[in-house]
Amino acid sequence: MPPLFPALTAGSARPALTFGDRSLSHAELAAAAGASAALLGRAGRVAVWATPTLETAVGVVAALLAGVPAVPLNPRTGERELAHILSDSTPSLVLAAPGDELPPVLDKLDRVNIDVRATSGPLPLPEEPPAEAPALIVYTSGTTGPPKGVVLPRRAITSTLDALADAWEWTGDDVLVHSLPLFHVHGLILGILGPLRRGGAVHHLGRFETAAVARELAAHGTMFFGVPTMYHRIAEALSDEPALAEALSGARLLVSGSAALPVYDHERIAAATGRRVIERYGMTETLMNTSVRADGEPRPGTVGVPLARVKVRLVEETGEEITAYDGESVGEIQVCGPNLFSEYLNRPDATAAAFDGPWFRTGDMATRDPDGAVRIVGRKATDLIKSGGYKIGAGEIENALLDHPAVREAAVTGEPDPDLGERIVAWIVPSNMQSPPSVEELARHVAQQLAPHKRPREVRLLDELPRNDMGKIMKRALHG
Ligand code: MCA
Ligand code: AMP
């Protein structure tokens, strides 16, 4: 197998990772990650405490070098969700930065502190594992039940990153400005592993702030990757921050993904900067499927055309394939290609249900323009919410809410939100209408059990939930 990171193997002295005032070249990264990789030995799987830091990037690269599957953990994950991820993925080790305080549930795992200045001496890097070997297990929400572990083989990572290099003319000369979290595909695979595979550099800002994006893009950056909430906040800030418009104007490529970027925000950014944001469409299970190409026409409102080696089809409710490229026939997007995951961990039932032969059913609904550009128009499941670019299942929040003593019944919906795309609304029948729980209390409870981004932003009280004759909650009858 050719190496996942050729510049690491070659010991390139060019800059690779910058987090705040700490940087590593590809050669230094090879040494630090090589030293940590040697400590992973025969670990079955390792968890990575995925703070937005240099240690996380080095830890994930170490696991990839060692050929040990890594499970990135959101450091804000609540008790219930963390317990599920640990019992499902059964890591034997946790990788963390030396000073990190970990929750007690992680005490039973051996801990490896990542030393970003360690050197592995003259040892050669370990031999490249096979293409189908599992590289990462990323947890993602479904409509019901707890999140599922998506097993991503090395082959999916290399094929998606190489297809993006083709679509975006992405090279080792690019410097990516990055402020996404490192426990999902967007921030970790595209944002960290992408620049490393190209032999280029990434500057991570620690957290998203428009002023920091402007500063880094103006100083060194050529590309910025963000979720629509970030571009919305950029669009809002442009009139007050002239440096931001100037920095964006000078960037080579601005890419949005994880959710739809509204055309209004596209247009505001284009008007102020003269630059078009391009969109790409992906999913944890499929990595990247389509993109507007850097050498193509800007196409706001579309997610572009299929990437190299990715096959995309639209399928009607009846199972029939739509052959028209007419901009109006709507079908489910199904994809097939080397970018796909191997399986849901421990869930052969869910894996089988997700496929029609080699085709993965995305659950996203779309039309296709005459030139092949895909327009996403909705989603099959109403119980999936995209908020701030995070995928959130209504069912998992309902279950967490039902555990609260002041809640008798609960239903969760997503409502349009100009900043988050969708905001989580909890419809609650309180145990006692005279002393109902507050939004702050329920938000705190959900954040503590699941994760802060899953917390309800609004709570609406009801005497009873609308149900059909079968007793099923009629969510369509719930709206503000
Ligand atoms: C507020 N906070 C709380 C509570 N209330 N914490 C605990 N309990 C509470 N009750 C805290 C939050 O933790 C956070 O802390 C702060 O208040 C604000 O939180 P919030 O409003 O939720 O978020 P935000 O800071 O406004 O963040 C917006 C964001 C973020 C930066 C756009 O949503 C984000 O990073 N989104 C990226 C999602 C993503 O990467 N998706 C990729 C998956 P503090 O202030 O300390 O931070 S999709 C994917 O990978 C596929 C493949 C794809 O296509 O890309
Ligand atoms: P996740 O499971 O968190 O990986 O999210 C994947 C989902 O995000 C997809 O199934 C889509 O619904 C959505 N998504 C990703 N990129 C885009 C985009 N550019 N436009 C619209 N939706 C998107």
> Residue 172 — pLDDT band, cuts 50, 70, 90?
very high
Please give the average per-residue pLDDT across 362-387, as a whole number: 96
Integer CA distances (angstroms), 205 to 176, 242, 269, 272, 278, in order: 11, 20, 21, 23, 21
Closest by Cα among 255, 262, 331 to 301: 262
Q: Is the pLDDT of residue 121 over 80?
A: no
H/E element, 319: none
The most distant pair of C-alpha atoms in the chain lies apart, rounded to whole Å, by: 71
335 lines ligand 2 (CB under 6 A): no
448 lines ligand 1 (CB under 6 A): no
Identify residue 214 by its one-letter amino acid code. Answer: A
Question: Which DSSP state fits 473?
Answer: B
282 lines ligand 2 (CB under 6 A): yes
What's the pLDDT at 333? 98
Report how far ligand 2's centroid is from the alpha carbon of 258 (Å). 4
Q: Is the pLDDT of residue 205 over 70?
A: yes
Report how far ligand 2's centroid is from the alpha carbon of 271 (Å). 26
pTM value? Answer: 0.97
185 lines ligand 1 (CB under 6 A): yes
Ligand 1 atom nearest to CA at 453: 22
Report how far ligand 2's centroid is from the alpha carbon of 153 (Å). 20
**HSE-CB of 13 using CA atoms within 13 angstroms:** 0
Q: In this predicted model, what pLDDT tens digit does every residue of 419-475 receive, in sequence order?
A: 999 999 999 999 999 999 999 999 999 999 999 999 999 999 999 999 999 889 999
By alpha-carbon position, which residue is closest to atom 31 of ligand 1?
208
User: What does the alpha-carbon distance between residue 343 and residue 137 come to, in Å, rounded to a whole number?
Assistant: 10
What's the pLDDT at 42? 79
447 lines ligand 1 (CB under 6 A): yes
Q: Is the pLDDT of residue 124 over 90?
A: no
User: What does the alpha-carbon distance between residue 455 and residue 448 come to, in Å, rounded to a whole number?
Assistant: 9
User: What does the alpha-carbon distance between residue 262 and residue 282 come to, in Å, rounded to a whole number?
Assistant: 17
Structural domains of the chain ordered from first start: 6-368 (3.40.50.12780), 384-478 (3.30.300.30)
By alpha-carbon position, which residue is closest to atom 7 of ligand 2?
283
Minimum-distance ligand to the CA of 386?
2
Closest by Cα among 13, 6, 85, 100 to 53: 100
Please give the average per-residue pLDDT across 101-107, as a whole number: 96
The mean of the pLDDT values for the chain is: 96
CB 338 within 8 A of CB 156: yes
Please give the average per-residue pLDDT across 308-323, as a whole number: 96
Please give the average per-residue pLDDT across 253-278, as a whole number: 97
210 lines ligand 2 (CB under 6 A): no
> Residue 119 — pLDDT band, cuts 50, 70, 90?
confident
390 lines ligand 1 (CB under 6 A): yes
> Residue 122 — pLDDT band, cuts 50, 70, 90?
low
> Residue 382 — pLDDT band, cuts 50, 70, 90?
confident
Report how far ligand 1's centroid is from the alpha carbon of 433 (Å). 32
By alpha-carbon position, which residue is closest to atom 21 of ligand 1?
453
> Residue 299 — pLDDT band, cuts 50, 70, 90?
confident
User: What does the alpha-carbon distance between residue 250 and residue 89 come to, in Å, rounded to a whole number?
Assistant: 43
362 lines ligand 2 (CB under 6 A): yes
Report how far ligand 2's centroid is from the alpha carbon of 266 (Å). 17
